[in-house]
A = this chain, B = another copy of it.
Amino acid sequence: MISMEPCRRKLKVLLIGFGNVGRQLAKILTRERDHFPGLSPLELKFVAIIGRSKGSLVNQDKGIDLHKALEEVENHGTFDPANPDRTDMTGLEAAASLDYDVLIELSTLSIENRGEPAISHIRTALARGSHAISANKGPVAFALKDLQDLAHMNNCSFLYETTVMDGAPVFKMARCSLKGCTIKGIDGILNSTTNYILTRMEEGQSLEGAVKEAQDIGVAEADPSHDLEGWDPAAKISVLANSLMGASITPYEVDRTGITHLKVEDVRQASISGKKLKLLCRAWREAGMVKASVKVEEIPALHHYASVTGGGAVIRIETDLMGPILITQEDPTLYDTAYGVLSDLMTLTCGY
């Protein structure tokens, strides 16, 4: 356990989203809680869970029975219609009307809706002085400055560690460990779906075949275009540029090409000449502006990036005061994603 100081502060939580990450979070906080002694400072009372297809629950008085909620969804695919906590409340209604200390926003990124409705949920929370934690990249990619100003004005926090590389050290690391540095540039491999597909294509699989495989093992979505066209990494490099380089860019301003144009011959040809093709994100300073791109680039076989295969991810940060540093995530699972949220909850509970 890292934190040495005793800390404990009960937090009332409003959870929006109960998909894979939400359920993993619930699992860690209930059934598996005893395996993780470092989480002992966390005392959470879930006042509502607002799901999409699974229905929603609210219980301001006693708090929701997380264990039971999890079992219902695991057994029936939705919350039990007979559960007395069932509600028709929307996320926005819950954010505006319930009594909570922190909103956890786990809904899915919508590029088309420019981060909405997650941005409105978070804006509503912060405007009331409640903290907000977002695993959804949209609010940071489309509205970071606004939300930060709002948080500052209302003396509360907006945290979003999970948005890039799950719970691996990125944003709190930069705050605590790069203080005084100016970040000159960032690059990295940030989309595990395309990285998995490129790895399989190196091994001779076609793009279509690799996509199908990725879907079969749950690495790619039913509609994989969001990843294949580079929108997910474009959102991530926007988040990094906005948060760490003071930019105000959205995924629409990122110079973006995905991997849909790649043929297996391209990947194998690179391989034969001792290179690997990777979908690289970059952000850099140019003429007083921050620019960003998402493009397939050739990587020498002995470069660290060549060893980031399958679902791994890496970012490389260049600063004025230090040589480049790299953060690499090996084989992330849903635990890593859930930890991003837990890590933000620990910060709210115990400070930095």
Contact = CB atoms under 8 A, between A and B. Distances in A.
B244 A2 contact: yes
Interface residues of A, number: 66
A336 B161 CA distance: 25
A126 interface: no
Most interface-central of A41, A167, A321, A329 (chain B CB within 10 A): A321
Interface stretch (A32-40, A95-103, A248-256): A32-40
Interface stretch (A56-64, A82-90, A302-310): A302-310
A222 interface: no
B177 A172 contact: yes
Interface in A1-23: 1-4
Contacts of A36: 180, 182, 320-321
Nearest to A243: B2
A343 interface: yes
Copies of this chain: 2
A178 to B, nearest CB: 5
B335 A324 contact: no
A38 B180 contact: yes
A177 B343 contact: yes
Contacts of A306: 302, 307
Most interface-central of A2, A178, A182, A320 (chain B CB within 10 A): A2
B350 A179 contact: yes
Interface string A260-279: 00000000000000000000
A322 interface: yes
B325 A331 contact: no
Given A3-B179, A180-B346, A182-B36, A331 B324 contact: yes
A167 B181 CA distance: 11
A289 interface: no
Interface in A142-189: 148, 152, 161, 166-170, 172-183
A297 to B, nearest CB: 17
Contacts of A288: none
Contact of A176 (B37, B41, B152, B352): B352
Contacts of A41: 180
Contacts of A342: 180, 321
Given A177-B176, A179-B343, A336 B323 contact: yes
Contacts of A28: 321
A333 to B, nearest CB: 6
A342 B347 CA distance: 24
A330 B323 contact: yes
B181 A321 contact: no
A329 B339 contact: no
A224 interface: no
B328 A304 contact: yes
Given A36-B182, A181-B339, 12 more contacts: A1-B180, A38-B179, A38-B181, A168-B322, A169-B173, A175-B176, A316-B330, A323-B330, A323-B335, A323-B336, A324-B331, A352-B352
13 contacts: A3-B175, A3-B180, A36-B180, A39-B180, A161-B177, A173-B173, A175-B352, A179-B346, A180-B342, A322-B332, A323-B330, A325-B327, A326-B328
